[in-house]
Structure 1
């Protein structure tokens, strides 16, 4: 974090002084965290109440680790200066807004933000890879995209930061607007509107409303980067006064992918940008669906002044979007394990299955190990049915369905294909592991896919190590 005095922090977050008495002019510039295990000497610990614990219980430990300041909702017994606020999470956001504003005032910082039902973390990582070649760049760790993770990332800004990449997630209408209130982007990206988290939002139209918040607050001098291949996203052009740049594979896209070629080592394509210039992209991330994320990163980077050749070179260096996202593992006896079990929505599940079918070597087999897609609400049953049908129609050779939440997927596949053992249901990871290791043959391609809450990413790791 940039250096701020305790008095300046107090004014920014509306906090009252408590705890150890130190001068208000005392400078604080260490990292800000809500996790006491991450506290370093000189840092700030925000004691956030949680569902299962309370950060105030760990405040004394944070001080022992060197915390120079505590932000709390009530005074605690700890030998450090404290700022007492009504809501620690709101205070965290207010502090982030203050830091962003101060760095903005220096005149160098550009902010690019990304949202969408799928692809946020991948696109964020691609943007970081491109932009950090141009100047100091701050981007989130993992999926730091909520009311805690996003401001924590913003607080990593320094006076030298050139680019902030903000990943903005949402579980309800208003979440993205709140994050934009902390750091309004110069370039706002909307990737896709799908059924991911539709159960939480209360339907697809509410999801559209929530994701539209990325562009409704943009100014005429800003840029809205929209997915031309998704009608719901493309329609957001009518909701913004910013200049619109579209990306996609269709003819209406300004930044367009041509001649897409998916293979077991990644995806190659030709990109065409406004003015007709083209370049060949050798993209080492598995899955044709990631081309859309790459196009979004290209479009945004161009708007931020990066040359196309530099963008293409940076994308060519990427071989993994993120751990557990289309992660290639295995290798023994030509067996490929694709661990894509960090998240799953109907769109990403379908894309992963299509990729599995595409990378099948001639004469070899495919095995899909699938778990539950969570947070679909009333759509859950129907969407699991559709994935079962798709697995059959893509001629996936063996389906292994794991966990009660995904059982309808198994039943749907049986009903569609009248298979004899080609789809198997198991309750546990251990059963799935034993079955797959027994079934696998040289040259097989194995996909492991589920929502994060289903936990199949750990099964994917185990299979990847077994077949290494």
Structure 2
């Protein structure tokens, strides 16, 4: 965080300052901000956020022991450090992030990019951060810090030297993206796609589209909207951008795209294509597994070009990225049994893309094995979407379908109904049972996809399989 006095922090969060020890209102802090007492560093700010399982107020002393200089709390606690009492700690975190970003913008050259979409946010964020970091100091979220806590924590990492802030915006319901993006008023807003991820929280895909469009509404005047020309719901957001006087830059595979992919080929070494950028043809070898990541790469490139990065430089940097993020199309195992751990999250669109990738990268003498768990947050659409994925796996000729968990049972039944018989599709109640089965079932030449939503926990099964076949 930038240097602020205790009094300035208190004003920013509309809190009441209670000074302890040798502190004064003018005491200057410049340490990091966190809600996890275990991650607090000397001089840091601890935000005591109440949680569903525990309460941050119980850990103020632990934060102080790790060097916290002040705690933002909803009620005073017994501790030796200064405290700022607020009515809502999460809102205070957001207010502090808004203040810090505004101060850096006021006397610096900070540019802010916001990224949203039903799928691909984290991969695109990492690709764009890799491109921008060679241009100047770049701050981007760790992992998937994209909610009401994670996004402000990312924003608070900016310093006076930061040139680019890349924000990832997720949403559990209407208005969430508007609130988060409104903290920073992005210069560039990137909308990747509108799919069924979290559709249960939005009342369907049209509600999801409206929520994602909140980012276009939040881009500052004279800013840039980067839109997926291949997704009709995203492409339609150009009308919002036009009404607000924004520049629209499109990516995709069609003729309207400013950044266009042609001649795409995918194998186990990644995806090769030709990118057409404002008439120039640039070859790209993207080593992140999966042809669907070409759209994420195009989105990152389009945003980077909008910020003034030379296209050829951006493409060269994209080619250095080998892994988007842990548990996202992460290659594990060995050359004989290759495990692809993509179980950090799952939606119908990302599940389908991962299954297609598995089919594409498996040679004629190799076997496809899909280890699949539940897709969460689909609400009333859960049953039919699990049916659709089970049917797709069979139509893609996936040779072994291993389904885990009661919430994914309809996927298994759909695969059987589509024609996956004679133990081609199997069901296990737990990951441990599936692990025991796979240890004896997997053989040389197998290409194994592990895919589920985070809540299903199959990412840890993927890690175990990767270790067993390393």
* Pairwise same-fold verdict (TM > 0.5): yes
Contact 2:260 2:275 in 1 (8 A): yes
Query: Residue 336 of structure 1: CA displacement?
Result: 1.1
Q: Which residue of 2 aligns with 1:18?
A: 18
SS of residue matched to 1:173: coil
Q: Which residue of 1 aligns with 2:400?
A: 398
Residues 1:32 and 2:33 aligned together: yes
When the two structures are superposed, what TM-score results if normalisation uses the length of structure 2? Answer: 0.98
Q: Which residue of 2 aligns with 1:279?
A: 282
Rounded to whole Å, the distance in 1 between the matches of 2:67 and 2:108 is 33
Q: In structure 2, which of residues 404, 413, 416 is the aligned counterpart of residue 414 of structure 1? A: 416
When the two structures are superposed, what TM-score results if normalisation uses the length of structure 1? Answer: 0.98
Q: Which has the larger displacement, 234-243 or 348-357?
A: 234-243
Q: Which residue of 2 aligns with 1:102?
A: 103
Query: Residue 19 of structure 1: CA displacement?
Result: 4.8
Q: Which residue of 2 aligns with 1:321?
A: 324
Contact 2:19 2:25 in 1 (8 A): no
For structure 1, which runs of at least 5 residues remain unmatched after alignment? none
SS of residue matched to 1:353: helix
Q: Structure 1 segments of 4 or more deviating over 3 A?
A: none
Contact 2:141 2:151 in 1 (8 A): yes
Deviations 1:38-89 (A, max 9, x none): 1111100000000011000000111111111110001110111111000001
RMSD over equivalenced CA pairs, Å? 1.0
Deviations 1:433-461 (A, max 9, x none): 12222121211110000000000000001
Q: How does 1:299-448 map to 2 (within 5 A)?
A: 299-332=302-335, 334-417=336-419, 419-448=421-450
Query: Residue 428 of structure 1: CA displacement?
Result: 1.1
Query: Residue 418 of structure 1: CA displacement?
Result: 5.2
Query: Residue 219 of structure 1: CA displacement?
Result: 3.9
Query: Residue 23 of structure 1: CA displacement?
Result: 1.2
Rounded to whole Å, the distance in 1 between the matches of 2:218 and 2:138 is 24
Task: Tell me how many residue pairs correspond in the alignment.
Answer: 466
Rounded to whole Å, the distance in 2 between the matches of 1:279 and 1:165 is 25
Rounded to whole Å, the distance in 1 between the matches of 2:263 and 2:287 is 16
Residues 1:289 and 2:271 aligned together: no
For structure 2, which runs of at least 5 residues remain unmatched after alignment? none
Rounded to whole Å, the distance in 2 between the matches of 1:53 and 1:219 is 38
Rounded to whole Å, the distance in 1 between the matches of 2:216 and 2:304 is 17
Q: Which residue of 1 aligns with 2:63?
A: 62
Deviations 1:175-232 (A, max 9, x none): 1111122111111000011110111222212111111000013244100000111111
SS of residue matched to 2:236: helix
